[in-house]
Chains A and B, each alone.
Chain A
Amino acid sequence: MTDAVLEADRIGKRFDAGFALSDVSFTVRAGELFGLGGHRGSGRTTAIRIAAGVLTADSGRVRWRSAPIDPATRRRIGYQPATAGLYPELTVLDQLVHRAELHGFDTNEAHRRAQVWLDRLSMRALRARRTGTLDTDELRLVALLATLLPDPELLLLDEPFAGAGRTGVGTMIELLRDEAARGVPVLVSGNDLDQIERYCDQVAILRGGQIMASGTVAELVAGGPRLFRVDAPDAEPGWGDTVPGCRTVDADGSRLLVELAADADDQAVLHAALAFGPVREFTRVRHTLAELFDPAGLM
């Protein structure tokens, strides 16, 4: 599946209320877990819908395996909208079988696949339960199973963990990692950047219908401010601001949080602290994606 690449090239979409997406580009490669972060209204859902071919872009194009998405391609995509998309009156087994049948499997094969997946996740006991009676973890897991059942070549999942607890999210992430391991490109959207940071290889963050940042988690974090925590008990107050390119951001007694300019030398800061006496702490403070891109916690 090395050629299994999804490319969104400058896609745009406008609704009556205004632009939902503007010149959005991203690439999801085979075996990659790609996180599309952003708050509600940022354009995540529109982007995924366009990628899945259920919504048409006003501009730009989406290509899968270097070709436009057509009806035959769409059938090989595992698409899950933000709502679970399950019929509450159907049992879990009927739900899975129905979805597999609609993907072209005969009834026997659909049943077999459903049983295999339920057994794999030790969920056999749920098969006769109506979906409407499941808790959120179970509901989200069943929705993901229904998407995975037909062996999709590409996964596009809009907020697949919404409302799920830690255990449910952990199980689902394992499933997605397994899919990525067999070469499936996996695009997952969500507003929890901490979560995205934990399991995604690549990340794009949307705001106002545009991509504000994209890259690997390491790249995105590296692009943040250079912060160091320094504890020099014998140092004079305000010593941090005397070092060229260094600025004190926060002070807690002798512990300072200092920000270094891009061209400032961290060793110069350490030497300046040692000049006053012993240094008990000198640590690079790494920001999370949430701290960098959602400091107000709006997502």
Chain B
Amino acid sequence: MADPHPAAHTVRLVAGREFGCRVGSRRLVLTTVTVAVLLVAFVVLQAYVFGHQRTLRVGLAGQAISLQQALPQEMVALGVPVDVRQLDTIAEGVADVRTGRLDVLVSGARSALRVTIDNQLDPRLRATLNSLVRQQILDAQLAQLGARPNDVLAKVDQAQITVTQLNATDPNLGQRKTLGIVTALLVAWSLAVGAALAGRRVVADAAGGTAEVLLPVLRPRRLLTGNLTGIGLTVLVHAAALGVVGVAAALATGAATVPAAVAIALGAGLLGFVLGFALYGTASAAVAALRPRYRGALLVLLGAVFLVSAVLIGVAPDATATSVLSVLPPFAPVLVPARLAVGVGAGWQVLLAVALSLLTVGALGWFAGRVYPRSLFRA
């Protein structure tokens, strides 16, 4: 017989049993698959609907056909894709606008373009067409004055304003914020699942005698540590699977164009879960041991933490209030990875958040270790 029950061995046995029971449980797998489907659906929507630049369909008729090359060049420079096609008659173009096959019909002389739309003209197209008309008139005026329009325009083009940028704005900030909120959501969801499972285990252990029967061979603290480790690993596997699915979907659809930010979000999210589960899992076990009926309160707290975090990340990820909240233990596991995904938050803030959370975990662990044994004889 192998001896003598070293702590690590018994904790590993309990954790292995808990992990083996739960990781493939139908309910948990179904929940994870559902969340994965929702995540992929969100990423696809982000890529093809919310963040998609719709191509403007422009028809050219009559003399306006001369804009065939100039118009797409100008619009692409503004970041607006256009699909330009020539029409035989103006009437054909008007009919296409009416039926929605075209967004815009451009006709008339280049110096007096006429635009037909259904109900709204894209402001960037309006500016571009106005610019082209003015250019045409300017060319004509310059020619009348005996100047060579191309020389004049070359000089005009060389004239540039000088810009001094006081605050550098990340052009991908919007995308990073979305990434931060999604990270916060996934971490909060994983923590909620983990905390619920931890509380349920404590209650089931008391009701089923599964803990009491082991007490002669296992100290309550080791049993609790083993159970929490097993549940934490179980949810970590599911959370990691969700993270990988989300990252793959984001990169495949082009919804995320900053792979480094995605990698940081994934890594920070997993670290946030580990830290957060130590915090919320232990707290849930303590609450379940003391007052089983109130263990749902932690899930409400997690929901509130996520909502506050999401708003702060969306509105002011780098504000002082956000920074302060991010180091406080209830918020740190959700807010720190979200801020890292956005690309804000100093290193010392992260370290302080981790340190405060670990201190809280230590205190909670001590408290849970005291109240847990009492709960085992409730049945």
What distance in Å separates the Cβ of A215 from its nearest Cβ neighbour in chain B?
29
With a CB–CB cut-off of 8 A, which chain A residues contact B213?
79-81, 85, 146-147
In the complex where A52-B216, A54-B215, A83-B379 touch, is A104 in contact with B21 (Cβ < 8 A)? Answer: no
How far is A292 from B22 in the complex, measured between Cα atoms in Å?
Answer: 50
Interface residue? B210 (CB, 8 A): yes
How far is A86 from B21 in the complex, measured between Cα atoms in Å?
Answer: 13
Interface residue? B356 (CB, 8 A): no
With a CB–CB cut-off of 8 A, which chain A residues contact B5?
75, 104
A-B contact count (CB 8 A): 72
With a CB–CB cut-off of 8 A, which chain B residues contact A268?
none
With a CB–CB cut-off of 8 A, which chain B residues contact A86?
208, 210
Contact among A54, A75, A83, A105 with B208 in the assembled complex (CB-CB below 8 Å): A83
With a CB–CB cut-off of 8 A, which chain A residues contact B207?
83
How far is A83 from B209 in the complex, measured between Cα atoms in Å?
Answer: 5
Interface residue? A227 (CB, 8 A): no
With a CB–CB cut-off of 8 A, which chain A residues contact B75?
none
Interface residue? A276 (CB, 8 A): no
**Contact: B2 with A106, CB < 8 Å?**
yes
Interface residue? B17 (CB, 8 A): yes
**Contact: B2 with A105, CB < 8 Å?**
yes
Interface residue? A74 (CB, 8 A): yes
With a CB–CB cut-off of 8 A, which chain B residues contact A82?
209
**Contact: B208 with A55, CB < 8 Å?**
no
Interface residue? B212 (CB, 8 A): yes
**Contact: B217 with A74, CB < 8 Å?**
yes
**Contact: A81 with B217, CB < 8 Å?**
no
Interface residue? A103 (CB, 8 A): yes
Interface residue? A118 (CB, 8 A): no
How far is A105 from B217 in the complex, measured between Cα atoms in Å?
Answer: 12
How far is A75 from B10 in the complex, measured between Cα atoms in Å?
Answer: 13
How far is A146 from B209 in the complex, measured between Cα atoms in Å?
Answer: 13
Interface residue? A102 (CB, 8 A): yes
How far is A103 from B214 in the complex, measured between Cα atoms in Å?
Answer: 9
Interface residue? A183 (CB, 8 A): no
Cβ < 8 Å to A, chain B residues 1-53: 1-5, 10, 13-14, 17, 20-22, 25
Interface residue? B218 (CB, 8 A): yes
What distance in Å separates the Cβ of A52 from its nearest Cβ neighbour in chain B?
6
Interface residue? A101 (CB, 8 A): yes
Closest-by-CB residue of B relative to A79 is B216
Interface residue? A255 (CB, 8 A): no
Closest-by-CB residue of B relative to A106 is B2
Interface residue? A61 (CB, 8 A): no
How far is A103 from B13 in the complex, measured between Cα atoms in Å?
Answer: 11
**Contact: A81 with B209, CB < 8 Å?**
yes
With a CB–CB cut-off of 8 A, which chain B residues contact A84?
208-209
Contact among B22, B216, B377 with A75 in the assembled complex (CB-CB below 8 Å): B216
With a CB–CB cut-off of 8 A, which chain B residues contact A81?
209, 212-213
**Contact: B217 with A102, CB < 8 Å?**
yes
Interface residue? A63 (CB, 8 A): no
Cβ contacts A to B, 19 pairs, < 8 Å: A52-B216, A53-B216, A55-B377, A75-B216, A81-B209, A82-B209, A83-B208, A83-B212, A83-B379, A84-B208, A85-B212, A85-B213, A86-B210, A87-B21, A98-B13, A102-B10, A102-B214, A104-B3, A147-B213
